[in-house]
Structure 1
Amino acid sequence: MHTVCAVRTEEFLIFSGSRGNDIITPYPEYQFSGLSTGDKWCLCALCWLEAYRSNCVPPVFLEAANGKTLKLIPLEILISKALKNTE
């Protein structure tokens, strides 16, 4: 379930790669240019939760999260990591 819209941080990109999910390297054959710090991207709710538990979670756009996310991640946790209006 890729239902969490987040802003990539350097810390998260490294964490994701350490878990076998290299989202930095471009894969032209799949029309994927790779992600960088600051990129907005939807990610798997379970991956986001794993990053949260490992203290390397990227901030989320709470309004853009799919409601199905709440089946896996409590709203209070999402709110605690939500981007503020000024960001």
Structure 2
Amino acid sequence: MLEKDADINVLGGKLAVCGMEPVTGYFRDGHCNTCADDRGSHTVCAVMTAEFLAYSKYVGNDLSTPRPEFGFVGLQPGDRWCLCASRFLQAHDEGCAPRVDLAATHRRALDIVKIDILKDNAV
């Protein structure tokens, strides 16, 4: 079993659930928990938008197309997903970042994204 980092959010509190429908997270437990093996740092709880989903598909990470062979239903606007912190920052820099649930965003996201950027995109 992989050892999870402490479940603390970017605000210093207990990490809230990000999404259960579809279930998200590196550990597929609904939380944006992380560990040393999570190379992508799936730590930002993002609320999907059509603009972000189109952008993500354009840059090679199609999150909207169902992939039943992986048990992935595909995301739609409004779905919450634990996004890689670097992808969030890239989308922010391109002007199409999704909204962020700060209570459900793991503090390890701060290794990659400044808190001010997360707060500027908060729901």
In which range does the TM-score fall when normalised by the shorter chain?
over 0.9
Unaligned 5+ segments in structure 2 are 1-40
Partner deviation per Cα, 1:1-46 (whole Å, 9 max, x = no partner): 0000011000000000000111111111100000001111110000
**1:31-76 deviation digits (Å, cap 9, x = unpaired):** 0000001111110000000000000000000111111111111111
Q: Distance in 2 between matches of 1:31 and 1:17?
A: 18
TM-score (norm 1): 0.93
Which residue number in structure 1 is paired with residue 92 of structure 2?
Answer: 52
Identify the residue that residue 119 of structure 2 maps to in structure 1: 79
Gapped regions of structure 1 (runs ≥ 5): none
- What is the letter of the counterpart of residue 79 of structure 1? K
Within 2, Cα distance between the matches of 1:22 and 1:80?
25
Identity of aligned residues (%): 47
- Structure with the higher helix share, 1 or 2: 1
Which runs of 4 or more aligned residues in structure 1 lie more than 4 Å from their structure 2 counterparts after TM superposition?
none
- Of residues 58, 63, 75, the one that matches 2:103 is 63
Are positions 1:7 and 2:42 aligned together? Answer: no
Q: TM-score, with normalisation over the residues of structure 2?
A: 0.66
CA radius of gyration, larger in: 2
**Structure-2 separation of matches of 1:23 and 1:77:** 23
Amino acid at match of 1:37: P
Aligned residue pairs total 83
Corresponding residue SS for 1:3 = strand
Q: Aligned letter for 2:60?
A: G
Secondary structure class of the residue paired with 1:4: strand
SS of 2:83's equivalent? strand
Question: 2:80 — aligned with what?
Answer: 40
The higher relative CO (CA closer than 8 Å, separation ≥ 6) is in 1
